[in-house]
A and B are shown apart, each in its own frame.
Chain A
Amino acid sequence: MEPIINDFTINIATANGTGSQSANLILLQSLFEMGVPVSGKNLFPSNISGLPTWYIVRLSDQGYQAPGDRTHIQILVNPATWEEDLAALEPGSVVIWNSDTKKKTVEREDIISYPVPMSSLARKINPKIAKLVTNIIYVGVLAELLDIDQTCLESAVAKQFKGKETAIELNITALGLGRDYCKEHLTKEDPYGAEMRTIEKPQFFIEGNEAAALGAHYGGAQLLAWYPITPSSSLAENIINYIPRLRTDEDGNATCAVIQAEDELAAAGMVLGAGWAGGRGMTATSGPGISLMQEFIGLAYFAEIPSVFWDVTRVGPSTGLPTRTQQSDIAMLYEGSHGDTQHIVLMPGTVEECFEFGWRAFDYTERFQTPVFGMSDLDLGMNRWACEGFTYPDIPMDRGKVVREKDVFEAFETFGRYLDIDGDGIPYRTLPGSGMAPILYRGTGHNPMGVYSEKPEDYYNLMARLKMKINNARDELPAPILREEEECEVGIIFLGSMENSIQEIDDILEATGMKVSQCRVRALPFHSEVEEFIRRHEIVIVLEINRDGQLYGILRRELPNDVVTKVHSVAYSEGMPPRARIYAERILATLEEVKQ
C-alpha cells in the first residue's frame, strides 16, 4: 500500500452545539503547526443546537484550499446523518465511527472501518460532559492514525483554550485516551498520513471577519452601528472586542462608538449620520441587511455622504441558506437603491486584503464622498485562513476634501457644497458645527449650491457629475491581481473567496493542455486593466459563485462592443464553498460550447 501523505480530505459529521467546533479547530491548528498546508470549512446549520454540522479538513501539499472533491476519511458521530454520510463515501474510504451510537453500525465491505467506543472513553474522563469530550476523542484517534505530532497537538489545545488550565488538561487527557485506544485496539489499514513540512514563512490562522474588523480599527473607525446577522456578526463583535486594546485611553474611554441598532435601516441611518457629521462610520451586515438599507444607500450616493458598509454575503434570495456561502450581492451592491446609482465595491480575496480594505474603505469613502462597500462572504469571513501578518497602512488617513479652517474657507471665491471646483467631480464640504457654508442636506434634487432644485439642467448636471466622479475612481481602487501565461489563451476573471479554489481549477484546466491566465478583480467599478486583460486573451471566462453571473452582467454592459463577444459566464452556486472540479468542468463545458 502506497502511503498518501498530506493530500486527502477529512469530513467530520457531528451535531451542532456539541462542542465539535473546538475539537475540529484543534485538529486544524495542529496540522497547521506541523507545516502541513491545510484548510478547514465549517458547514453549519442555521441553528444553535442539534442540527447536523460538517467540518471539512483538507491537507494538500500543493496548497489547494478548496474543499476536496471527495472525502477520504469520514468521522461519524452524528446519528442523524449516519446513513447518508456513509452512503456518500467512495470505495476505499476510511470511516472512524462512534461504536457507542445506539442502533448504528457500519456494514460496508468496501471501506476501511475503525470502530471506536468514543462515548464510553469520554465517560471515563467525566460522565457529565461525555458528549463534549467525545469530540476530542476522535481527534486523538486521528492523531494516532495519521501520526500527528504530539507537541503540535498540545500547542493547538493551548491556543484553543488560552490559559484555561482545566480545559487544557482535560482535552490533553482525552486526546491521550483516543491515541491509546487506537494503539491498543486498531490496526492501521489505510494509506493516509500527515508529515511535518518546513515552514518557510511563519503564518497564523485567522478568519476574514476578524481581519476586516482589525482593518476597520486601523482605518480609525469612529462608529460601528450594526444589527446582528449571520455571517457578519463576528465582524462587528471583533470590532467591539478590540476596542479596549486598540481604541481606549488609560481612563477607559474609547475613540470608537458602538451602537447595536434596532434594525439594519437604523444601522445605515447611523452610519450616514456619522459621515454627515464628519466622522468615519461603518456597519457590517449581510445580503438581507443590505436589502433593508437600500433607501439610505441612495441618499448617501445622492447627497454624497461618506459611509462604509461591509456585506459578508450568504446564500439568497430572501432568508435563503443563511449559513451557506455565495457571491450573492455583487449586482445589488454595485447598483444599490432606486434610480441611477453606481457604487464603489471592494472585494477582498484573502484575509490580508480583508484587513487592508478594512482601512482603505474609509479613505475611499471620504475621498470620493460616496458610500463604499466591502464585500466578503461567509467562506472568507467565517472560516480560518493562513496569514503571514498584517501590513500597517503606508499612507496617512485620507479625509478627502473637507474644509475645516476659516482661512481656507475664505480663500474660496465661491463655495457650493456640490460645486465641482476642481473638475474631478468631487466637491468640497464643510461640517456641521463649523458655521461655514451651512446647508440643509437633502435627498431631493439640488443645485451646486445645495439648494433644492427641480430644474432639468441642475438634475442632469448633478447626475453626470456623480457618474464622472465614480468613473474617475476606477484606477484609484485596488487593481486586479493578474497571473498571466505568455500564451494568453484562456483568461479567467474571478473575485473574492474563489481565490482559494482558483489554482486547483487552473491546474485541472491546464492538465487538458490549455494555458490559463487569472485576473482576480478586487474592486468595482472595474479597473482599466481588466479590459486590457480581456483584450490580450483569446477567450475569457467570468467565474463566480452565484446563478446569474452578476459580475459578468456588469462587465458585459460596460465593455466596448468589440470585446464583449470574447467574454463568457460560468456561474454556479449550491451553497458550498467552491469545489475546484465542479467549476473546472463547467469551464471546460463552456469552452467546448463556444468552440462549436
Chain B
Amino acid sequence: MSEKPARAIKLNVLNEPKDSYTGGPSSLCPGCGHDQISSVIINAAWENGIEPHRIAKMSGIGCSSKTPAYYLGQSHGFNTVHGRMPSVTTGAYAINKDLLYLGVSGDGDSASIGIGQLIHAIRRNMDMVYVLENNGVYGLTKGQYSATADVGSKKKKGAVNETQPIDLCAMAINLGCTFVARSFSGSKKQLTSLIKAAMSHKGFALIDVISPCVTFNNNDESMRSYGYVKENEITLHMADYIPHFNPMEEIEVPEGHFRDITLHDGSTIRLETISDEHDPADAMAALTALHDAETTKKHVTGLLYFDPTKPSLAEDLGLVDQALIDVPDEELRPSKASLDALNAEFLA
C-alpha cells in the first residue's frame, strides 16, 4: 500500500487538531446563527489551548441549549432544565472548581424563566462563561416572542410585540457583572476574541450574542422585515416549511463605526462596534453606550464592561485549595474521635 503524502494538520499548543473540539451534527434550522456561535466556541477553545475534557458544557432548554451537542464532543455536558442552568453550574463548580464552565443559554432561558438564576449567578460572580444566544423568540415552541423582542416586532401571523424588551447587558452591568459583552453571531472575529477573553476571566462573563432566528424572527417593519420570505408567499402559508438559508456571511465592523447588516429575511440590523476609546472599567460609559444605541436603533457590540478585581465565588466559599472532588473520602468524613468527643460533650 502506497502511503499518502501526509497533509499538514494545524495543531494548537496542546498539539491537538481542531477536530478534538468539534461535536455532533447540528439539528437546528439550516443557516441558524447559533451554529456559527458553536463554530466560534470550537475555535476559541482550540485556539486557547484548553484541554477539551477540562471544559464542562452547560445549558438550559431551547434551541440554544441544544447546541452543546454540536461542539466539544470530548467534554462532559449537562443539558439541564429551562432557565436553571446557572444553579446546576454553581453546584458543579462548588465540587469541581478546576473545570472551565461554558454555559450556553437563550433569551427564553435567561430573560424570562431563568432571569432570577442568571441574576444570582452574576451576584455570586460565579466563574463561568455565559453565552447568551439572543434571537428574541422562542424557537422550539414555534415563534412566540421572548422578553428581549424589540417593541414593534411583528410575527408571521400578525401580532405585534408591544412590551418593552429587557436589555440583559444593561441589567448585568447594573448588577456588577465583572465581564459584559455584546456581539453578533456573524461577527466571527469579534466573537472569537470575546469568548477567548471570557474563558480567561475569573468571574462571571456574560456575552450577549445577537443571533437572529432564521425561521421565526420576522418583522415587516423597519428593523427586521420579513421581506425575503414575503416574496415567496407560498412558504408563508406552509407552517411546517422551514426555508433553508446559507449561514450569515462573516461581518466585521471597525471600532467606533457601524454597519447595516441584511438578515436572511431581508431586514437590516445596525451593528456598531464600541469605540476603542471606550474604557471597559467605566460602567457609566458602558450604560451610556447601551442607551445611546437603543435610542438610535443600533446594537452596540464589543467588550462593554470589565472588572477583574472582584473576588469570584471560589474565594467566597472558603474551601480547601484542591477541588472538593479530589478530596479523599477519609478526609471528607470526620474522624471517630471527633464523634466520641461530641458525644462526651453532649453527655457532660
Chain A positions within 8 Å of B, measured between CB atoms, are 202-204, 206, 214, 217-220, 222-223, 225, 245-247, 249, 252-255, 257-259, 261-263, 265-281, 295-296, 299, 359, 387, 389-390, 392-393, 396-397, 399, 430-435, 438-444, 452
Taken together as a complex, chains A and B put the C-alpha atoms of A249 and B338 apart, in Å, by: 14
Partner of A442, one of B53, B79, B338: B79
Partner of A440, one of B69, B81, B116, B318: B69
Taking the nearest CB of chain B, how far is it from the CB of A312, in angstroms? 21
Contacts of B346 in A (CB 8 A): 204, 206, 387, 389
Chain B positions within 8 Å of A, measured between CB atoms, are 51-54, 56-57, 68-69, 73-81, 84, 86-96, 98-99, 116-117, 119-120, 124, 317-321, 324-325, 327, 329, 331-334, 336, 338-340, 342-343, 346-347
Taken together as a complex, chains A and B put the C-alpha atoms of A380 and B1 apart, in Å, by: 78
Taking the nearest CB of chain B, how far is it from the CB of A309, in angstroms? 13
Known A263-B116, A269-B86; 10 more pairs at CB < 8 Å: A218-B339, A223-B95, A257-B324, A266-B90, A389-B347, A390-B342, A432-B75, A433-B53, A433-B98, A443-B79
Partner of B88, one of A272, A387, A399, A439: A272
**Known: A253-B319, A389-B343. Is A441-B92 also a contact (CB below 8 A)?**
no
Whether A273 pairs with B332 at a CB distance below 8 angstroms is: no
**Known: A262-B117, A265-B84, A279-B324. Is A274-B94 also a contact (CB below 8 A)?**
yes
Partner of A257, one of B87, B317, B332: B317
Whether A202 pairs with B332 at a CB distance below 8 angstroms is: no
Whether B92 pairs with A277 at a CB distance below 8 angstroms is: yes
Partner of B99, one of A203, A268, A270, A432: A432
Taking the nearest CB of chain B, how far is it from the CB of A398, in angstroms? 10
Contacts of B318 in A (CB 8 A): 252-254
Whether B77 pairs with A440 at a CB distance below 8 angstroms is: yes
Contacts of B75 in A (CB 8 A): 432, 438
Whether A222 pairs with B120 at a CB distance below 8 angstroms is: no
Taken together as a complex, chains A and B put the C-alpha atoms of A431 and B92 apart, in Å, by: 11
Contacts of B327 in A (CB 8 A): 222, 255
Taken together as a complex, chains A and B put the C-alpha atoms of A145 and B164 apart, in Å, by: 72
Contacts of A206 in B (CB 8 A): 346
Contacts of B88 in A (CB 8 A): 269-270, 272-273, 276
Whether B343 pairs with A390 at a CB distance below 8 angstroms is: yes
Taken together as a complex, chains A and B put the C-alpha atoms of A549 and B334 apart, in Å, by: 40
Taking the nearest CB of chain A, how far is it from the CB of B126, in angstroms? 10
Taken together as a complex, chains A and B put the C-alpha atoms of A452 and B80 apart, in Å, by: 14
**Known: A281-B95, A299-B80, A432-B96. Is A390-B324 also a contact (CB below 8 A)?**
no
Whether A220 pairs with B329 at a CB distance below 8 angstroms is: yes
Taken together as a complex, chains A and B put the C-alpha atoms of A296 and B75 apart, in Å, by: 23
Taken together as a complex, chains A and B put the C-alpha atoms of A206 and B347 apart, in Å, by: 11
Whether A296 pairs with B95 at a CB distance below 8 angstroms is: no
Whether A246 pairs with B334 at a CB distance below 8 angstroms is: yes
Contacts of A253 in B (CB 8 A): 318-321
Contacts of B92 in A (CB 8 A): 273-274, 276-277, 432
A sample of 20 inter-chain contacts (CB < 8 A) reads: A219-B333, A220-B332, A223-B95, A245-B338, A249-B320, A262-B116, A273-B89, A273-B92, A274-B91, A279-B94, A279-B325, A296-B84, A390-B339, A390-B343, A433-B54, A433-B56, A433-B96, A433-B99, A435-B74, A440-B68
A214: nearest chain-B partner, CB-CB: B342
Whether A452 pairs with B69 at a CB distance below 8 angstroms is: yes
Taking the nearest CB of chain A, how far is it from the CB of B101, in angstroms? 10
Contacts of A273 in B (CB 8 A): 78, 87-95
Taking the nearest CB of chain B, how far is it from the CB of A461, in angstroms? 21
Taken together as a complex, chains A and B put the C-alpha atoms of A318 and B52 apart, in Å, by: 46
Taken together as a complex, chains A and B put the C-alpha atoms of A252 and B317 apart, in Å, by: 11
**Known: A255-B332, A273-B91, A397-B332. Is A392-B339 also a contact (CB below 8 A)?**
yes
